[in-house]
Structure 1
Amino acid sequence: MTELNEEDLALAQWSRRLSHALQILDLELDHALIRRLAKESSEAVNDGAGPISAVVVGYAAGLSAAKGKASPSEAIESAAEVALKLCEHGADGGPDSEGWSGTAQ
């Protein structure tokens, strides 16, 4: 098992407290993926895009998991990958210019 540094440990404890407070008892987050999403979104658009992307990805993943299409972890990974593809093109262009039919959650 990888040893966590102080910042990672605090983040893990916070996300566990937050998910329990929200009654999401079985959620395991990939902090590295979420951080990458926030960073790449912020770089692709502006600083505000990071937190907005994280919320929208979380919402899409929640809908997918609630419909039984994927486990919560799989749904987060899938939604994050769609967002990361969009980040490759910045604020303009990218997969949405050709349609999103292949990316549905």
Structure 2
Amino acid sequence: MSTNPEMEERRLNDWSRRLTQALQILDLEVDHKMLVELGEKSAETVADNAGLVSAFVVGYAAGLTTTSGRKSSEEAVQKAAGTAFQLAETGLEGSDQPGWKGSAQ
């Protein structure tokens, strides 16, 4: 589906709201721009569908983090996404950095 950026953002907002309501995670604000950037970077350095996998794993890692409130949830997502962005810089060619495995939690 081809749309202009403004229309796409509105559709992503509507879709996120629908998903979060259906999944009963009503206090979640989805950072579309960050997820799209992570998806593009992962796809560029790893494989076409690596972006989908990256977004899922970032969400899962953030979900495993014990949080209290919206700010903590957003921080957990940002921390997990930061780790994913670091890895996406080199894709499969980069070396694992000491301690990166625990950095999202």
SS at match of 1:91: helix
Identity of aligned residues (%): 51
- 1:38 and 1:72 map into 2 onto residues whose CA distance is 20
Unmatched 5+ stretches in structure 2: none
Q: Indicate the residue corresponding to 2:38 in structure 1.
A: 37
Shift of 1:98: 3.9
Q: Indicate the residue corresponding to 2:89 in structure 1.
A: 88
SS at match of 2:76: helix
Q: Indicate the residue corresponding to 1:71 in structure 2.
A: 72
Report whether the alignment pairs 1:6 with 2:7.
yes
Report the RMSD for the aligned CA atoms in angstroms. Answer: 1.9
TM-score, normalised with respect to structure 2: 0.84
Query: How many residues are treated as equivalent by the alignment?
Result: 99
Structure 1 ranges of 4+ moved more than 3 A = none
* Residue-by-residue CA offset, 1:12-44 (whole Å, 9 max, x unaligned): 000011011000000001110011111101111
SS at match of 1:5: helix
